[in-house]
Amino acid sequence: MLIHDHFQHDDVRAFRFGYHPLGKPTMFVHCFLVDGLLVDTGQSQARQAILDTLGQQPVEQIFITHHHEDHTGNLGPLRAHFGCPTYSSTRCAEMMQDPPGISLAQKLVWGERPPDRDLTPIEGGLETSKHRFELIPIPGHAEDMVALYERDRGWLFSADLYVHHRIKYFMASESMLGQIHSLRKVLALDFEVLFCAHNPQLTGGKDKLQKKLTFFEDFYGQVGQLHERGYGPKTIFRQMELDEKWFTRILSGGHLSGMNMVRASVRDLTSTNTTSA
C-alpha cells in the first residue's frame, strides 16, 4: 500500500511517502522543498507518486543528504525531469558511484538504489535566493551523511540523525560513537525545527535530539561496562534484556538488527581503546 501527502511549515514544504508491500506503511520518507531546493528524493518504491507530486514543483537544485536508498531512490529520474544540478557531500558522491548492496527487506520496503555518477560534490554551504544552508557533516548512521542548517530561521534538516529518540536496530555499517559525536556537534547549534527525513519535529526539535543523545550515551555506557567485564556481544545483549526484531533481522539477512547496536558499540569501544593505547 502506498500513502502520500504533504504539509507546509513556514517556507518549507514537506512531501511524505510511505510504501509497504504487504499492508499499511510503518515508516515514511520525507522530501523537503524550500526556495527551489529539494532535499532528498525518496524511495524508488514510491517513484510514480514522487514524480507526479514533485515533478510539478519549482525545483532548481537537489541536495542528497546520504547514499541510503530511501533518500536517493529517485535521484536519476528527478535530475532528468528538472535538468537541475544535484549536490551531495564528497563522500556521498564517491559512494554513489558504486554503492553498497542492499538487503531483501530494504528492497521490498524502499526499493532499488542504482549507482549514480553525476552528483556534484559540495562542502561548506549551499545557497538559495532567500536562504543560506550550512552543510554539517554528521557521520555515524552513514559515513557520508550531512545536515543542512539554516541559522537565521533555526531549521535543521537532519537527514536520519533523529528518526526517533529510542532506536531498536542498526544497519551493520552504523557507528554508535559516530552518532554520539554527531548528536553532540549538532546540539551545540541553536535550532527549533527538526526536518527529520522520517519523523519531522516542528517544535522542540532540540529537546528530541537531546533525548536521543541521552539514550545512545546510556546504551553505549552499558555496553562499555559489560564489555570491560569480558562479555561478548551475545551475553551483553542478554544482560541488557534487549528484544530482537527477528522478522526484520531474518528478512534483512542480518543487515538490520538490535544485535548490530551492541556490535557497533563494541567495535567503537575496541577501536577507541586501540587508538588511545
What residue ranges bind Zn ion (CB under 5 A)?
68, 160
Grid coordinates representing 24 are 499499511
Distance of closest approach, residue 256 Cβ to Zn ion, in angstroms: 11
CB-based closest residue to Zn ion: 68
C-alpha distances in Å from residue 247, one per residue of 59, 64, 192, 241? 39, 30, 36, 18
Please state the closest distance from residue 67 (CB atom) to Zn ion, in A: 8
**242: number of Cβ within 10 Å:** 16
Q: 3-state DSSP call for residue 142? A: coil
Cell numbers that stand for 66 in this block:
546520504
Please say which residue, 16 or 68, places its beta carbon nearer to Zn ion.
68
Closest CB 141 distance from Zn ion, rounded Å: 6
- Shortest reach from residue 158's CB to Zn ion, in Å: 11
CB nearer to Zn ion: pick between 105 and 240: 105
Of 144 and 160, the one with the shorter C-beta distance to Zn ion is: 160
Amino acid in position 30: H
> Between 31 and 226, whose beta carbon lies closer to Zn ion?
31
Q: Min. distance of Cβ 142 from Zn ion in angstroms?
A: 5
Name which of 139 and 205 has its Cβ closer to Zn ion: 139
Nearer to Zn ion, 68 or 131 (CB): 68
- Would you say 258 and 243 are in contact if contact means Cβ atoms under 8 Å apart? yes
Q: How many secondary structure helices (H) and strands (E) does the chain include?
A: 10, 14
CB of 58 to Zn ion, least distance (A): 27
Q: In what order do the strands lie in the sheet with 12-19?
A: 2-9, 12-19, 29-34, 37-39, 61-63, 86-88, 120-121
C-beta separation of 237 from 258 below 8 A: yes
Q: Where do we find the cell 535530539?
A: 209
Cα distance between the two ends of the chain: 52
Question: Residue 160 or 268: which CB sits closer to Zn ion?
Answer: 160
All residues at 6 or more sequence positions from 190 whose CB lies less than 8 Å from its CB, including other chains: 151, 154
Where residue 260 falls (left for φ over 0; alpha for ψ -120 to 50; beta otherwise) is alpha
Smallest gap from residue 198 Cβ to Zn ion (A): 9
